[in-house]
A and B are shown apart, each in its own frame.
Chain A
């Protein structure tokens, strides 16, 4: 187990080191100005100098993303349970669910701010909207694509609709929920950052989105890099946590299908 983990971790770490080295070499050899491309050392120094601000901002963005993600899991599962009840419901509502995915989030974010004001709740809402769709589609698929043989088994014993849902459809949909949640976890971080672009919490208490938005125009490129890396790291942590939670839930019966 740990040997497999090590053999899987080594190639990406080597690649990371190679990119850092190449990046450092490019900055040194081409004498690039730091506002265009700071060297890896500059970024690390900048991140270190502002580490308290950066970690606080990561905490704020993380809280928004986690709340938005949780809301999308709860809401998306609820919507999927409704969708699974009938083909008519699915046929009439599905186009509007697709709308959730196709509408550019930057286009509706200002609208959300107009309607709900600025503040944490609007960041959560934007994060939820952007991460909702994968949950709806995957859970709905899990609830309705039941093997006909298993349906026969339940019909043979005169299972009620409720027994069907509770003992067959919902357990069957759990791995699908985990798959959808893995996609959603990354999207929730994107949603929280985009939300922060529009909402902003003010200068004293702000998230990574705020830093990214203001570091760019001020040519604080090292800070921009640091904030970008922090948000990427946040996404990875959310993804890994969701995957781990999924393994825990699926336990022995299907753990090997998650890689």
Chain B
């Protein structure tokens, strides 16, 4: 448990942005007056045009960047994992050793690493024959799976995903979205998912935060009421189409 001073009295959220701004001299602010909260175990997506500061929000939460103003509150000092846009695998390590890396950096003893790596590999569905392969031998989709397995290996409380499937073709993206939801339901981490694909955000999340650029701000918050587990044919549902259309409208800056 973290110190009580980090807690907002009336809030049960795991992480919160409070009047956060990020500015660099002589540039329009990257983020301005940002306020939102995400509760334990929620799946929230951020959609917005490129340059709206979506990635910066994830970096603030991961402590890879600092706000110029306001507060980023993350409760209970949880373990945070990050799935980057690029797989960011180390080319000199094979699949298993890449997944093991975070445990090594956290100085987890070797005998405790193996079960966590095995569970991560099982979750992500990598065949045993792929375990010894090097990144250059893997397809783009496989690299992204390994990157996801590496993020899950520390059993994170918060998973930050920065357009992880943007470079993949649509079939593969949908398949990985379904797998991601299955893992989320099994492990119950809190997800903050950045994308500019509206359908993806509707399919995955309980809530979509729509952003505008220059300055980066949240312009709308759209709850997605579908229950989980969500079947692939949800994408053909008229309500799904209606929600996606509404978010697209918001992105274009139109009325609700």
Contact = CB atoms under 8 A, between A and B. Distances in A.
B80 A167 contact: no
Interface of B, secondary structure class, is loop
Interface residues of B, number: 24
B105 A152 contact: no
Interface stretch (A97-105, A154-162, A209-217, A240-248): A154-162
Nearest to B88: A149
A150 B88 CA distance: 6
Contacts of B84: 149, 152-153
B82 A153 contact: yes
A174 B92 CA distance: 10
Nearest to B79: A157
A153 B85 CA distance: 12
A190 B109 CA distance: 50
A167 B134 contact: no
Nearest to B136: A253
B106 interface: yes
A251 B24 CA distance: 44
B253 interface: no
Nearest to A163: B105
Contacts of A157: 101-102, 105-106, 154
A168 B90 CA distance: 8
Interface string B101-116: 1101110000000000
Nearest to B154: A157
Interface of A: 147, 149-150, 152-159, 163, 167-168, 171-172, 174, 252-254, 256
6 contacts: A152-B59, A152-B64, A156-B62, A156-B64, A172-B92, A256-B136
Interface of B: 59, 62, 64, 80-82, 84-86, 88, 90-93, 101-102, 104-106, 134-137, 154
Complex A-B, nearest 4 residue pairs according to Cβ-Cβ distance, in ascending order: A157-B105, A149-B88, A253-B134, A171-B92
